Amino acid sequence: MGSWQASLVSEGIIVFFDSECLLCCGSVRWLNRLDAGDRLRFAPLGGKTANEWGISEEEDSMALLRGGEIFRGSIAAGGAFEEAGGLGRVIAWILKIIPSRLREWGYRLIARHRKSLVTKGSCAFPEEGLPEKLLD
């Protein structure tokens, strides 16, 4: 499995997320449902894969690795939805028409308060197909 994971990290699309945040975990479940092409992989902030790519828990609430390039903030969120395809592309298009300064301000506001926005539920990933997409 080591070489399989290594090839995904170098060639795939990875969404890095805050695994202690219920809003972030819910977003990952939603992206997984939209990802009909099985293109996305997910890695927690603070995990081995995030550390290898220099993604910081303190600086990021979400990041996207695509084509060897790291995207952060609202660009990462929009990119993740775009890569998921289907309805995700519609969501990404809606995000793109919002002026970038306003979109980034909204993203940062939500990111700053993300742990208090959703307080009930669990962050377990029982969804079909999701455990296989999780990286360290």
Q: List the CATH number of the domain containing 36.
A: 3.40.30
Q: What percent of the chain has pLDDT over 90?
A: 49
Q: Compute the average pLDDT of residues 108-133.
A: 73
In a domain, residue 95? The reply is yes
pLDDT band of residue 46 (cuts 50, 70, 90) is confident
Q: Which residues does residue 76 pair with via DSSP β-bridges, in sequence order?
A: none
In a domain, residue 33? The reply is yes
Which domain range does residue 95 map to? 2-117
| Residue 82: other Cβ atoms inside 10 A | 19
**Number of domains comprising the chain:** 1
The secondary element (H helix, E strand) that includes residue 65 is strand 62-66
pLDDT at position 130: 82
In a domain, residue 13? The reply is yes
Question: Is pLDDT at 50 greater than 70 in this prediction?
Answer: yes
In a domain, residue 130? The reply is no
**Least confident span in 7-21, 69-83, 92-106:** 7-21
In a domain, residue 133? The reply is no
